[in-house]
Amino acid sequence: DQQVKQNSPSLSVQEGRISILNCDYTNSMFDYFLWYKKYPAEGPTFLISISSIKDKNEDGRFTVFLNKSAKHLSLHIVPSQPGDSAVYFCAARGNAGNMLTFGGGTRLMVKP
């Protein structure tokens, strides 16, 4: 039973446009959410996070939105750059433990 799902395995976007990556979760005990970016042959790199007490967090070109009632979060990248091409993982953490539960990832391709 996947508690964190990323339903789009891949996304292709033109350089300069917005990239929107989506993530859904089922466990209502999750209270902290993160996005990681992964390049081939490297470990996941932390990108941005959001606590369940907020509905938006922004860091430069990256914004994460959280809709608790829908158990849905999204990552917006504006403007998208070719260097953003990578696999993006959504992750969630509950207040009872420190482990992260990851989604299956979305491969983003930003075309020049």
Partner 1 sequence: GAGVSQTPSNKVTEKGKYVELRCDPISGHTALYWYRQSLGQGPEFLIYFQGTGAADDSGLPNDRFFAVRPEGSVSTLKIQRTERGDSAVYLCASSGGWGDTQYFGPGTRLTVL
Q: Does 35 bind partner 1 (CB under 8 A)?
A: no
Considering the complex, state which of residue 32 and residue 62 has its C-beta at the smaller distance from partner 1.
32
C-alpha span between 93 and 91 (Å, rounded): 7
Helix (H, G, I), strand (E, B) or coil at 85: coil
**From candidates 13, 89, 108, 110, binder to partner 1 by CB under 8 A:** 89
Dihedral sign from CA coordinates of 62, 2, 95, 36: negative
Q: State yes or no: residue 49 binds partner 1 (CB under 8 A).
A: yes
- In whole angstroms, how close is the CB of 112 to partner 1 at the nearest point? 27
